[in-house]
Amino acid sequence: MDTIMHELEQHIRTRYEVEEDDRDYTPDVHLFDYGYIDSIGATALIAHIEKTYSLQVTNQDLMLYSLNTIREIAEFIVKKTGR
């Protein structure tokens, strides 16, 4: 799971231009409440997750799983892929 978390952290940092010295940006920060990702960014992040991890994020997944932090997203990926 650490590898997935690291990849997600780096992808989000690069794609959404998060500064290297941003102390709030942690695996447990709420990405939406803190303004790192907006609704359009969420769509792009889901596309990245589906492509990178060869899985499909369904509407049911979005209702069942909390996907607000890097840690939560990584846990979801592990559950869906069995990694």
pTM: 0.94
Is the pLDDT reported for residue 28 higher than 90?
yes
* pLDDT reported for residue 82: 87
Per-residue pLDDT at 34: 97
In order of 54, 56, 72, 83, the CA distances from 30 in angstroms are 24, 22, 10, 24
* H helices present in the chain, as ranges: 2-15, 39-53, 59-64, 70-81
Over residues 62-77, the pLDDT tens digits come to 999 999 999 999 999 9
pLDDT, tens digit, 9 for 90 and up, residues 38-52: 999 999 999 999 999
Cα gap 38→2, rounded to integer Å: 25
* Average pLDDT estimate for 7-36: 97
